[in-house]
Structure 1
Amino acid sequence: MTLASHFFAQNRASGELLFGANFRVVLVSARELEGFEMLDVSQGDESLRAHNLHEENSKTVTVYSRHKPGCANKGNPYWRRCRCTKYLYIYKNGASRQISARTRSWEKAEQKAQKIRESFELVKQSPRELRSQPPAQTGVEIRHAAEDFLKEIARLNREEATRKKYKLTLDRLSNWCAAQTPPVFLLAELDVPTLRRWILSWTGAPTTRHNQHQRLIAFFYFCLGQGWIKENPAKKIKNVPADQDETLPFTREQFEALLEATFYYDGRGSERNGATTNSRRARAYLKLLRWSGLRAGDAACLPKSKLRDDDSLFLYQAKVKGKSSAPVYVLLPPDVADELRDVPPNSVTHPDYFFWSGRSKRKSEVSSWERVFGKVVRKAQEKFPKLFIDAGGQAKPAHLHMLRDTFAVEYLLAGMPLEEVSRLLGHSSVVITQKHYAPWVLQRQQRLAASQRAAWAAMGMRAAPMSKESDQRPAPKRTALGHPS
């Protein structure tokens, strides 16, 4: 059975072409009907289409049944009375697609098809008028814009996790647009009211919705730069404020307890054995995070070439005004650098890396170290419950990123300028550092004020009493290794 017998019925007297049931478009003369390319389409074929070789601005929507294998009428896609799923064949401006009508009723499917037809704003015209019109401007489709944006993200070498988040957001947008009545295919159709309806359907935590909105803004800025749209609709919709998680560094006692726990977590029972490969690797990894400020993934995949002979560790290339870039290094304590150089490899470690196999994905490597850290924390809770269990019997927060926070907070409290801490952390702006570590910047200022009051007292000047919020933290203890504990 050919596609022509299903989709087209020719009225040779008037030169009209009938598309499906109750829908007529005057296209071409009877002689020009020979220009149509007809395809034999088997049941369930995804490539169901009819292509006019002469005209590119015709539009039609036709209902058909996609029969189940056991349906008695599977040879006739226009059999209406079966309970098989109904689909819509949409032909518009030279492009065709098939979408599910999401119903088994022919009448309901026809109602959806009619709404799409009405959205085309089709006006019947004579063949001469139709041929004299310029081709319709369809604009850029949402899915094509999303594909180009994802290619640009990949070209900029964004992290794989970041690319996946962008793809997830844009897939959700495309699926939502396709499910609307009528479907939203073009980028220009995504105005502020339409986009707001999608954003209002979001669920999840405020931070999740905030981050998805930010990715949406970035996508539309890309489209704006390409000249596909005239304004950024996502920017005109106010974003949900993200929840600000409290920054909680480890205390010095907690960090020492974690290092001590590495001597037990890989042993049997209560036996203390820090000489095993796993124990030494865990201890070196925790010290690297604490004294370098690296993120968990960067430390897990750290190449040996980044550690120099002077115990400085290369972090990244920073942009400098008037220059292309300048390297940024962090200095490691000598014992930490030596322990890192001597860290034993396991059975899969690549010789060019301290910990990484060179084959697994960064996310998988981080997950592996999170499991190791979980074992260390549980052993620390067992050995030092007062440090890791609160008064209510609940475990205190303990995760790998807290070691990066410890790195930043300790340097801030020691008097290092905020700008320099921000540079070591690799933040793109000091504002980001201020946002996360503001309480400790305030604590540093309070300690400075306390020092001034002490100096005034020594000079015989009267000073206001110290506020209760002033920092009373004792001076840092020194370990046998010569650096702060």
Structure 2
Amino acid sequence: MKLTELEFYLEDFIVYCQTKNLSKKTTSSYEQSLKLFILYLKDVHEIEDPNDVRAGHIRQYVKYVQERGKYTVVGSEKSRKINHPQNRTDFKKTVSSVTINNYIRNIKVFFNWLHSENEIRKNPVDKIEQIKTERRQKTEITESEFRALLEEFDYTKFHGYRNKVIVMLLQDTGMRIGECLALEEDNIDFKHRMILVTRTKGRKERYVYFSQQMSRELRHYIKFKERYSSSNLLFPTTRNSEMAVQSFEKQLKQAGARINLAVHPHQLRNNFARQYLMNGGDLYTLSRILGHSSVTVTEKAYLDLTREEIAKKYQNHSPLSKWRI
């Protein structure tokens, strides 16, 4: 079947992304969202040439997604028959502003690339802006909730103890779950209590640091692990393979549900950052630890410290109280 002009350029763009060595996740995000947009242009506006795309088409697409809701737009009928999106509990629910902004960003990247390649005369995304988002307060996990969560893992079984240590390490280091599950024993420097993270979001290696308590737990866990696994992976499956992110997310969710706690691995990363700042840590160092591209990214991510937390931090740093006047 012959490709339309837009479909051809999308294929070319994906090849370009691969030659730039972008991560599979990023490339897949581009391909998935752009295929849906191109399908919309074809079905609703009968547009197959990128030169015919206007800013208004992009704005109307945003409105279209907002009105239709989640999983109502699919790349093909074959996909619909295989995945049955209509059976999902969140089918037709409102698409979040964050998700829509990701769509807009991907569309802008594509058309900016087309313009830089001189494949389009006028760039339709020049005046396209992201939609306004409401900041949601990041959910805090309290000390008592964290202790209760750890108790839900069966320490006598390999997978239970492994999951407990993963949860502790995420809370202690602020690593992303994908980074954590890719670790090997050789990445750990017990002398300086730091871990070399190699599989990072931006593909730049960095170090994270762990506490003395975590050091003791890791040493004990590694000895325990050696009785069950010959893998050099720090957190292998019972089959010695790398654990899938989705698998851990599911097991963590199940453990949280038993104590009525909605929990996700990224919450532990957020919790680490929150506690780090509340304990007097600075944004610059936190940014380095988290692997953010800039301090600005870190600052925006953690602007939502509650008034009570800010007040508590102020009391610890008030100049007048320090001077004891």
What is the match of residue 365 of structure 1? 244
- Please tell me whether the aligned partners of residues 207 and 242 of structure 1 are also in contact (alpha carbons under 8 angstroms): yes
Unaligned runs of 5+ in 1: 1-45, 47-96, 99-139, 264-273, 319-324, 382-394, 460-485
Pick aligned residue for 1:330 from 198, 202, 208? 208
Q: Aligned residue for 2:88?
A: none
Question: Please, which of 284, 291, 297 is the counterpart of residue 426 of structure 1?
Answer: 291
Is the 1:350–1:357 Cα contact (8 Å) retained in structure 2? no
Higher strand share: 1
Deviations along 1:201-243, one digit per CA (max 9) or x if unpaired, are 2232322212111111111122122122244312412322234
Question: 1:184: how far off?
Answer: 2.0
Conservation of the 8 A alpha-carbon contact between 1:377 and 1:398: yes
Aligned position for 1:409: 274
Distance 2:124 2:240 in 1: 39
1:453 and 2:320 correspond: yes
**1:171 partner letter:** K
Unmatched tracts of structure 2, length 5 or more? 67-94
Kept in 1: contact 2:165–2:218 (CA 8 A): no
2:17 to 153, 156, 167: 153
Amino acid of the structure 2 residue aligned with 1:188: N
> Aligned ranges for residues 245-394 of structure 1 at < 5 Å?
245-263=136-154, 274-310=155-191, 311-315=193-197, 328-333=206-211, 334-342=215-223, 344=225, 351-356=231-236, 365-379=244-258, 381=259
Matched, 1:187 2:50: yes
Residues 1:354 and 1:434: Cα distance change in structure 2 (over 3 Å): same
Aligned to 1:112: none
Deviation at 1:357, TM superposition (A): 5.5
Q: 1:147, 1:365 → 2: CA distance?
A: 28
* 1:352-392 Cα shifts (integer Å, max 9, x gaps): 31224599998x7111112221232234x1xxxxxxxxxxx
Indicate the structure (1 or 2) with the bigger Cα radius of gyration. 1
Q: Distance in 1 between matches of 2:322 and 2:190?
A: 42
Question: Do 1:250 and 1:406's aligned partners in 2 also have CA atoms closer than 8 Å?
Answer: yes
Distance 1:172 1:447, change over 3 A: closer
CA contact (8 A) 1:280 1:344 kept: no
> 1:335 offset after TM fit, Å?
1.5
Change (3 A) 1:359 1:335: closer
Structure 1 residues 409 and 196, CA, compared in 2 at 3 Å: closer, same or farther?
closer
Q: Does 1:239 align with 2:130?
A: yes
- Check if 1:171 corresponds to 2:35: yes
Count of residues in Structure 1 that have an aligned counterpart in Structure 2: 289
CA distance in 1, matches of 2:32, 2:143: 40
- The alpha-carbon deviation at position 200 of structure 1 amounts to 3.0
Tell me, in whole angstroms, the C-alpha distance in 1 between the residues paired with 2:240 and 2:131.
Answer: 36
Cα distance in 1 for residues equivalent to 2:116 and 2:306: 39
Residue of structure 2 in register with 1:478 after alignment: none
Distance 1:216 1:308 in 2: 43
Residue from 162, 176, 179 that aligns with 2:26: 162
Specify whether residues 426 and 343 from structure 1 end up closer, same or farther in structure 2 by C-alpha distance, changes over 3 A only.
farther
Q: Which has the higher helix share?
A: 2
Residues 330, 336 of structure 1: alpha-carbon distance in 2 compared, 3 angstrom cutoff: farther
Please give the TM-score of this superposition, normalised by the length of structure 1.
Answer: 0.53
Shift of 1:277: 1.2
Please report how far the alpha carbon of residue 428 of structure 1 lies from its aligned counterpart in structure 2 after TM superposition.
0.9
SS at match of 2:305: helix
1:144-174 deviation digits (Å, cap 9, x = unpaired): 2211211222334434333222111111122
- Deviating above 6 A after TM superposition, structure 1's stretches of 4 or more consecutive aligned residues are 358-362
Flag the 1:343–1:402 CA change in 2: closer, same or farther, 3 A.
farther
Of 181, 184, 198, the residue aligned with 2:61 is 198
Query: Could you tell me which residue of structure 1 aligns to residue 76 of structure 2?
Result: none
- Quickly say closer, same or farther: Cα 1:428–1:277, change in 2 above 3 A: same
Give TM-score, length-normalised by structure 2.
Answer: 0.76
Q: After superposition, give the CA deviation of every residue in 1:325-348 in whole Å (9 maximum; x if it has no partner).
A: 99632222221432453352697x
Instruction: Specify the SS of the correspondent of 1:236.
Output: coil
Please show how residues 34-45 of structure 1 align to structure 2 within 5 Å. none
Decide whether the 8 Å contact of 2:276 with 2:286 is kept in 1.
Answer: yes
Inter-partner Cα distance in structure 1 for 2:297 and 2:41: 35
Residues 206-221 of structure 1 correspond to what in structure 2 (within 5 A)?
Answer: 206-221=97-112
Identity of aligned residues (%): 21
For residues 414 and 256 of structure 1, the distance between their equivalents in structure 2, rounded to whole angstroms, comes to 19
Asked if the contact 1:370–1:400 (Cα under 8 Å) also holds between the matched residues in 2, the reply is: yes
Q: Quick check: 164-173 or 190-199, which moved more?
A: 190-199
Taking the aligned partners of 2:121 and 2:158, their CA distance within structure 1 comes to: 60
Distance 1:230 1:336, change over 3 A: farther
CA distance in 2, matches of 1:220, 1:291: 41
Structure 1 residue 317, shift from structure 2 partner: 9.9
Secondary structure class of the residue paired with 1:201: helix
Shift of 1:396: 4.6
SS at match of 1:411: helix
